[in-house]
């Protein structure tokens, strides 16, 4: 999804970047960007916790680029729940930020089980 949005952004703005690498791994993309190999579409959380601090700069928010990714976390009710998965489902939050669509304490991700 993000790949096609980035390609559409380049086409719409008549940009012809020199592609160094196309990678699926977020950590590898982050490291390539930190090493000066160009830009990488990264989520706000990855940028906010990236070391070194201020090592990455945001090129443009979703409103300016139109690049967005929706992530769905789905699980089913289990006879023996995984304690770590239960903990993550109860405590995971997307941190608010200037480039996220969240306000306040972030968006809670809660488990949804079909009834």
Q: Which residue has the higher pLDDT, 15 or 45?
A: 15
- Report, in angstroms and rounded to the nearest whole number, the Rg of the chain calculated over CA atoms: 17
Q: Which residue has the higher pLDDT, 22 or 53?
A: 22
Distance from CA of residue 63 to its chain's centroid? 15
Please indicate, yes or no, whether the overall pTM of this predicted structure exceeds 0.85.
Answer: no
Cross-strand pairs, 94: 107
Encode pLDDT of 66-104 as tens digits.
787 777 767 777 888 888 878 877 777 666 655 455 444
| Coil, strand or helix at 54 | coil
Encode pLDDT of 46-73 as tens digits.
887 877 877 887 777 666 777 877 777 6
Nearest to 74 by CA among 90, 92, 89: 89
């Amino acid at each position: 999804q993000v790949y096609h949005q980035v390609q559409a952004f380049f086409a719409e703005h008549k940009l012809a970047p020199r592609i160094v690498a196309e990678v699926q791994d977020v950590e590898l993309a982050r490291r390539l960007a930190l090493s000066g190999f160009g830009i990488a579409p990264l989520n706000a959380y990855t940028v906010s916790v990236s070391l070194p601090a201020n090592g990455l700069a945001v090129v443009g928010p979703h409103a300016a680029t139109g690049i967005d990714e929706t992530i769905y976390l789905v699980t089913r009710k289990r006879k023996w729940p995984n304690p770590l998965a239960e903990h993550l489902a109860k405590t995971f939050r997307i941190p608010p930020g200037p480039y996220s669509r969240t306000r306040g304490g972030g968006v809670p991700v809660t488990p949804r089980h079909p009834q």
